[in-house]
Structure 1
Amino acid sequence: MATGLLALLDDVSALVKVSAASLDDVPAQVAKTTGKVSGIVIDDTAVTPKYVVGLDPSRELSIIYQIAKKSLINKILFLSPAALLLGFFAPWAIGPILMMGGAYLCFEGYEKVHSMFSKHQHADAKHSQGEGLKMITPEELEKTRVQGAVRTDLILSAEIVAITYATVADKPLFTQIAVMLAVAVFITIAVYGFVGLIVKADDLGVHMAKDNHHPQIRSIGRGIVTFMPHFLKILGYIGTAAMLWVGAEIIAHGIPFTSHALDNLEQSLAHMPALSWFVKATACGIGGLILGAVIEKVVVFIRKIVTRYQAKETQKIG
């Protein structure tokens, strides 16, 4: 009886030690994963503010909260369990899914770059279609904006979850779950907390610029109001660059040849870490832009084929 009790205590002690080791590993894995998804986080932060532009300022934080809540629900209740199930039943699918997401990021990045150089064409097209625009209520516009933001966030969140799982795929199940939950919560709070600060910064500037404040405070307030539009524009550029860089790097690491090439490039400049990161990010960004352009051409070609097919079917019915 005493021997059995001692054996049980030994088992419990071993289990506690394993659990403690897993707990100690979680913060390190969270930090490691956060670094890997930094580009996607930057893009998510850069993209989200545009969804509240033009809406009632008093509704901005409420809209951001709605998007953040749905983003966290998607990460915890849908994407993380899906990644764990895929990792258990079809681990071979993680790589292709990551690469598909990377291709989407390259495509979106190229679309943004292309739109930057064709603003006048888009403006003329919108002006010519102005008479056909449908008037909607502020409530409908808010709902549409939230839905659009959640769709965009879903793609980026899926990439974050997939990269997180790939980072801890060789760890115990407890560590996998703990890290994925921690990353989901931390990144969601960080992204949307920062977005909230960004969209309300101009209101803070206006408040600081009022006459009842010290002249220096008023000057700082006016500076914030003047700087924020430029900051949002710069943030948009950074987000676009991050999409291209991250998307291309994900794809490159999924192909042995390009993965070895990136590793060799990084090792050749290992004595200059900053330059190594810049060269690798630039190479991935250019590669992502080229890949995005190719994907865009393929998408346009497929759309033309589908449109022609639909037109022929309509003629047959007519």
Structure 2
Amino acid sequence: MAGGLIALVDDVTALAKIAAASLDDVAAGAARAGTKTLGVVIDDTAVTPQYIKGLGPQRELPIIWRITKGSLRNKLVFILPAVLLLSVVAPWSLPYLLIAGGSYLCFEGAHKIVERVIGNSTHTPAIHTQSEDSMVRQAVRTDFILSSEIMVIALNEVTDSTLWQKLAILIFVAFLITLFVYGVVAVIVKTDDVGLLLSTKKSRSFQILGTLLIKAMPCVLRILTVVGTAAMIWVGGHMLIVQLAEIGLDHPHHILQGAIDPVVARAGSFIGWVVETFSSAIVGFLWGAILVGLSSAYGKLHKNYALRDGN
């Protein structure tokens, strides 16, 4: 009896160790995946507050919560099953999806830079005249694209895991990133209200803090936008270089490594990472600028055809 009990305890201990190891694998995979999605996450955080403009303070958090639920539905109900199915039945398609995703990131980043340079920003949605339902739908549609990028990038970082580990990691990443993004958005959106409340207090210190908060938030949003744009271009360019090598077009990757290896040997890995990041950003911007040009040319051509047909 005692021997059987000891054996049972040993079995339970062994199972616990296996479970702990699996949890460690999931946590490690989630950490890798989360790091790679940084550019998209920052951009998502910077873009979302635009959809709250024009709302009364009492409606801001409910709308953010509705968008949060829509984002989770995008990731868990639509995107997660699709990417897992592709990883099983067509794993060869993942590099092509990442190339398409990287191209989209490069296009979006370059588009924002071009708009800033020529002073013609048409990308900010004019949502102040829309109903709340329309705002939420538009925000969730935009989130679907960014969420797709996040989930595909995350999946690519855990291709060596089992199917169940992939499922656990992607679910964890979906919840973690969604709650992080929209939690930060909620803080950003409500900071103005907190600052306004503090500025009305009798305490001079509270008034100064409230004024600083009110003045700081536009700067914070601008910084987020700049960092998000830069991160999108860098991540997109890096995805292109790496995934092109995966499908056999490894010339860009060889050129990049040829430039990085001597720098790492002389100046260390951190400087090498800086060079790699800068080089990936250049590649991302150049490719994105080409896509922006092609998109603009197609738009003008389509408009000319429409005008000609109308006449």
TM range (shorter): 0.7 to 0.9
Q: For residues 160 and 248 of structure 1, what CA distance do their matches in structure 2 show?
A: 15
Specify the alignment match of 2:187 in structure 1: 197
- Check 1:265–1:52 CA distance in 2 against 1; reply closer, same or farther (3 A cut): farther
Q: Which AA in structure 2 matches 1:142?
A: E
1:226 to 215, 223, 238: 215
Cα 1:199–1:262 change in 2 (3 A) is farther
RMSD: 2.9
Equivalence map 1:1-318=2 (5 Å): 18-119=18-119, 140-212=130-202, 214-256=203-245, 257-270=251-264, 272-311=268-307
What residue identity is the alignment partner of 1:55? L
Q: How many residues get paired? A: 295
Report the Cα distance in structure 1 between the residues aligned to 2:179 and 2:304, rounded to whole angstroms. 46
Give the TM-score taking structure 2 as reference length. 0.84
DSSP 3-state at the match of 2:157: helix
Offset at 1:281?
A: 2.2
Residue by residue over 1:109-158, the C-alpha shift from the partner in whole angstroms, topping out at 9 and shown as x without a partner, is 11111111222x569xxxxxxxxxx9x985x3433332222222111111
| One-letter identity of the residue aligned with 2:253 | S
Report the Cα offset of residue 279 of structure 1.
Answer: 2.5
Contact 1:46 1:238 in 2 (8 A): no
Letter in 2 for 1:258: P
Query: Mind listing any 5+ residue stretches in structure 2 that lack a counterpart?
Result: 1-9, 246-250
Identity %: 40
Structure 1 residues 304, 216: CA separation in 2 closer, same or farther (over 3 Å shift)?
closer
Conserved? CA contact 1:26–1:175, under 8 Å:
yes
Deviation per residue, 1:64-98 (Å, 9 max, x gap): 11111111111111111101100111111111111
Shift of 1:59: 1.4
Query: Could you tell me which amino acid in structure 2 is paired with residue 84 of structure 1?
Result: L
Kept in 2: contact 1:47–1:239 (CA 8 A): no
The TM-score normalised by the length of structure 1 is 0.83
Q: CA deviation at 1:283?
A: 2.0
User: Would the alpha carbon gap of residues 33 and 206 (structure 1) be closer, same or farther in structure 2, given more than 3 Å must change?
Assistant: same
Cα distance between partner residues in 2 of 1:300 and 1:189: 36
- CA contact under 8 A between 2:54 and 2:128: conserved in structure 1? no
User: What is the CA deviation profile of residues 163-195 of structure 1, one whole-angstrom value per residue up to 9, with x for unaligned ones?
Assistant: 111111221111111101000000101111011
> What SS does the aligned partner of 1:168 have?
coil
Q: How far apart in 2 are the matches of 1:60 and 1:276?
A: 44
Q: Which amino acid aligns with 1:237?
A: V
Shift of 1:35: 1.1
The residue type paired with residue 151 of structure 1 is R
Please give the alpha-carbon distance, in whole angstroms, between the structure 1 residues aligned to 2:77 and 2:218: 36
